[in-house]
Structure 1
């Protein structure tokens, strides 16, 4: 399933204004790793994260990492990778943990314009499932470790890769790494490749660089209605599917109350000033007065920003009936919620029950939600990230933010390891199709990120120049 690729030098320079600054060997290796792991379907139904973990381990071992420092784990059939790049200890500081995940969400080939598990390209983009989430980060981090070995770089503290294998589903591997590995919890902090990054306008103008410092709580319920059923030729006035449909429409029409923190208000103020226009003015108005209903209602219509204003719940899956000629005996909808920090999941379930207003509708919480704290930013981490960002876009503002989605970072924060997500990607948020159809990443973003992790880690774990 893993194959190698010979890449011509001209490909590396596509979309770059300063191609001569890119180490061609590093670019080739990064693209080779990226292609190899993207072209393996690592969705939860395939069980292919183990081969990918083994492949990445083989690349690290070939680069010179000792066998005792590269570990492939099989956790309930999901593969994970832990690799330690040893420093000389001169900093007298604990290790830095580096996070990513090997799995992807499912992609149906018949729905895509291109084959989802073949890395295809045009003049401007790479296309594939996982091209952003999160094999972009995994490839960039792995190739950075290989680059360090080739350069003979010796950090002043240990650097540890921790790649999980089921971040998109049960997070079994994530929980194991975060809670059952004291060697990982000893890290001073973690840097996550699975979120954060630079936002650009449609014209390619950088707006801001976002550092993820908090995440909403991820919780999923199954909402089920039942009925005696019967023959379809003898319809009943009550029907499990109709009852479920009524409940779904009520959830669709409900808006959870607006919530905010100092971080989210600062985020809207800074982002609004950068974006400008009607939307930017709305963000600024919200930052000044989050009780301004005109502003919050306007932001409610923006998929990229609504999650930073309130808890959200949305129906994502349906299952109903057992035969085409029989009345349904049960119908189930999956309701996925992203809960504002500080709000217990039990409170959200109570609201959902009140909104549905039908005691016969059953709610089943699929797994215990993980509530995680905000990681207050550190000057040394922000300075290291700023150094990388400003090498590409001088003077660009960095801004901490709360993630609407969920990543491995929530578990490390809960385990006591402060975590910030600092992806090297820069792109227009309207083009981020992760989890959706035709996921893609700009070539300029891929090649522009080649030095990102090297700069950040050498700043944090290198000798002062």
Structure 2
């Protein structure tokens, strides 16, 4: 992300935001990290950093039950900023036996709304991070070598901090939107998505939004030398489905091997899955994405992108795209083994063996049932029993409407004049799938800017560049002012 355009604000506003950020009790891990001296930063930038630091400090991974504490902190900040208690909703959920919460904050329109509501999505939970594995404390925001390190610095506490800070900033300015704006933050997106499903249903039935914008995907793609090349709008997601494949037999003594060994049979099935490639597919979003990316991608890969966008049946283009790890997963359904267990004793033949196979299914390809039927055909062994281990949500692709495109330009082009804006399909999954499944056109337009080399979401030493964090603070500010002016 390049240096962004900084918005000038009054000293009185800045002082109130600073006071807002520092008065709520925080977890000990957040208090132990000394804030880096940044005298060159404006008061509103420092307030955003403080909010970011505080929410990184909550260990909102499954098993630690910290989501309610983070919700309480955020609610306190919104109340102090002037949001009415009646415009803040905290909902309790049970996610696979663990308590969690969702948070909804309404920024009410002044007078009669001039347009339908805008819903803004984010998730407060994170994937677990073990301190002994990290180079730095994962639940302490650490500024080092030009980066902010910590679990959730990108996924998705960056989104939570950006959206929350924008609401606080606008409220302190006294800005009155022309339409209702809603923050809708879920508490278990990384695991059961119980909050997500419930909130999506609530939003569809009670808020009835005109727009749903997701802060958990999309953003600026940077080259390895930090030059912006594209702003991606996430407009579709693959269908997430996990299968458990199990082989059983009577077993026996390890001194008397038999031909129908459960582990060997399962291994053969997994090798068959490894070797199989699902049929290449395309849709308007992938073709459009390749058409734009091809213009700025050098060499044979860029040429293949352009050729595929013009003719998806081009065999040479397909071969080049399939050979690249950055594009292969966008061309078809993928299924991969992720976990394995089998046997019960070192001196006994296995009575059972089970593998977990995770599939990301291309939209419109028949969903989990079609993927299962294909895998069974590939394995060609009736002894391998399939069990669908997840609730499957099949969602259609969204469209980048002229209204949203204009708003994205308002947020992106002051930082990156003329930057290409193009929709793309996500190979992973976000809260957005549940909103699309209920008929709500949903696109993800995060303000994050990142190189491929810095993508450590779900991994060790998750990070975001300090410069990009501050430069992105005006992203949602400008977008919301455009949409609700």
2:300/2:320 contact within 8 Å kept: no
CA contact (8 A) 1:185 1:415 kept: no
Match of 1:405 in 2: 428
Say whether the 8 Å CA contact 1:39–1:119 is kept in structure 2: yes
- State yes or no: 1:263 paired with 2:289: no
- Partner of residue 157, structure 2: 135
- Measure, in 2, the Cα distance between the counterparts of 1:297 and 1:386: 34
Does residue 72 (structure 1) correspond to residue 94 (structure 2)? The answer is: no
Distance 1:449 1:196, change over 3 A: same
Q: Give the aligned length.
A: 452
Residue 46 in 1 paired to residue 64 in 2? yes
Per mean C-alpha deviation after superposition, the further-off stretch among 297-306 and 359-368 is: 297-306
Q: Is the 8 A contact 2:245 2:355 kept in 1?
A: yes
Q: Displacement, 1:455? A: 0.3
Task: Measure how far apart 1:388 and its partner are.
Answer: 1.2
Aligned equivalent of 1:293, options 312, 315, 336: 315
Contact 2:252 2:348 (8 Å CA) reproduced: yes
Q: Residues 230 and 78 (structure 1 numbering): CA distance in 2 closer, same or farther, change over 3 Å?
A: farther
Instruction: Measure, in 2, the Cα distance between the counterparts of 1:98 and 1:378.
Output: 16
Residues 387 and 373 of structure 1, relative CA distance in 2, 3 Å threshold: same
Q: How does 1:107-186 map to 2 (within 5 A)?
A: 107-182=129-204, 185-186=207-208
Query: Would you say the 8 A contact 1:107–1:116 is kept in 2?
Result: yes
Q: For the residues of structure 2 that align with 1:11 and 1:125, how far apart are their CA atoms?
A: 17
User: Contact 1:125–1:442 (CA<8 Å) still a contact in 2?
Assistant: yes
1:180 Cα deviation from its structure 2 partner:
3.6
Q: Using the alignment, how far apart are the partners of 2:415 and 2:138 within structure 1? A: 30
C-alpha distance 374-185 of structure 1, shift in aligned 2 (>3 A): farther
Match of 1:10 in 2: 38
- The question of whether the paired residues in 1 share the 8 Å contact of 2:187 and 2:195 is answered with yes
Name 1:437's counterpart in structure 2.
460
* In 1, Cα distance between equivalents of 2:254 and 2:51: 54
Change beyond 3 A, Cα 1:255–1:171: same
**Greater shift in the superposed pair: 31-40 or 374-383:** 31-40
Q: In structure 1, how many angstroms separate the alpha carbons of the residues matched to 2:451 and 2:77? A: 32
Give the CA deviation at 1:275.
1.8
Single out whichever of 158-167 and 106-115 deviates more from structure 2: 106-115
CA–CA separation in structure 2 for the residues paired with 1:42 and 1:245: 36
2:44 is the alignment partner of 1:26: yes
C-alpha spacing 1:62/1:178, structure 2 compared with 1 (3 Å): same
Change (3 A) 1:426 1:441: same
Shift in CA distance, 35/331, structure 1 to aligned 2, threshold 3 Å: farther
Deviation at 1:83, TM superposition (A): 0.8
Task: Identify the range of structure 1 (398-407 vs 35-44) with the bigger mean alpha-carbon deviation.
Answer: 35-44
Contact persistence 1:185–1:417 (CA under 8 A): no
Q: Deviations over 1:82-134 (max 9, x none)?
A: 11111114442221100000112233334433333232232221122211111
Unaligned runs of 5+ in 2: 1-25
**Distance across 2 between alignment mates of 1:459 and 1:312:** 39
Aligned partner (choices 385, 405, 419) of residue 396 of structure 1: 419
User: Which shows bigger deviation, 185-194 or 241-250?
Assistant: 241-250
Residue 58 of structure 1 is matched in structure 2 by 76
RMSD, aligned CA: 2.0
Inter-CA distance 397–64: structure 2 relative to 1 (3 Å threshold)? same
Farther off after superposition, 436-445 or 449-458: 436-445
CA contact (8 A) 1:97 1:184 kept: no
Aligned to 2:469: 446
Q: What is the 5 A alignment of 1:290-439?
A: 290-344=312-366, 345-439=368-462
Q: Which moved more, 1:188-197 or 1:228-237?
A: 228-237
SS across alignment from 1:60:
helix
Structure 2 vs 1, CA of residues 342 and 235 (structure 1 numbering), >3 Å: closer, same or farther? same
Q: Which residue of 1 aligns with 2:482?
A: 459
* Preserved CA contact (<8 Å) 1:224 1:333: yes
Closer, same or farther: CA 182–209 of 1 in aligned 2, 3 Å: closer
Over 3 Å counting, the alpha-carbon distance change for 1:214 and 1:120 in structure 2 is same
**Cα-to-partner distance string for 1:48-104 (whole Å, 9 max, x where unaligned):** 222212221111112111111112221101221111111114442221100000112
- C-alpha contact (below 8 Å) 1:375/1:419 kept by paired residues: yes
1:153-177 residue CA offsets vs partner (Å, 9 max, x unmatched) = 1111111011111111221111100
Q: Is the contact made by 2:204 and 2:438 (CA closer than 8 Å) also made in structure 1? A: no
What TM-score comes out, normalization by structure 1 length?
Answer: 0.92
Aligned partners of 2:334 and 2:479: how far apart in 1? 34
**Structure 1 residues 181 and 424: alpha-carbon distance in aligned structure 2, compared to 1, 3 A threshold:** closer
**1:146-202 CA-partner distances (Å, limit 9, x unpaired):** 111111111111110111111112211111001144565411111100011010100
Q: Which residue of 2 aligns with 1:21?
A: none
Whether the aligned pair in 2 keeps the contact of 1:166 and 1:173 (CA below 8 Å) is yes
Matches within 5 A, 1:201-220: 201-220=223-242
Contact 1:215 1:341 in 2 (8 A): yes
